[in-house]
Amino acid sequence: MKTDHTDVKLMVSELISAGLTPQQISEEMDNRVSSRTIYRWAKGDSVPQNESDVEALGDLVGRMKGGKA
């Protein structure tokens, strides 16, 4: 599956809107990627290179929506 810039930007934006910082997003993703990478994803400067990172990001969004993050 090809990672879409818009999807990743939206997921990161949603997490930031929920009150998480890029550092906290990184930590919640078990430091799979740096907070700087999260910032780049939010700006659309890059996208995850590993599908597992997209899955981890999606899992975090799901936890936030469920109130479990």
CATH classification at residue 38: 1.10.260
- Note down the domain range covering 59: 5-65
- Is the pLDDT higher at 69 or at 61? 61
Q: What is the DSSP string of 1-55?
A: -PPPHHHHHHHHHHHHHTT--HHHHHHHTTTSS-HHHHHHHHHTS---SSHHHHH
- pTM for the model stands at 0.86
Q: Which of 34, 18, 2, 49 is nearest to 10 (CA)?
A: 18
pLDDT over 80 (residue 1): no
Indicate the burial class of 12 (C-beta count within 10 angstroms; 0-12, 13-18, 19 or more).
Answer: buried
pLDDT digits (tens, 9 = 90+) for 22-51: 999 999 999 999 999 999 999 999 999 999
Q: How many domains are contained in the chain?
A: 1
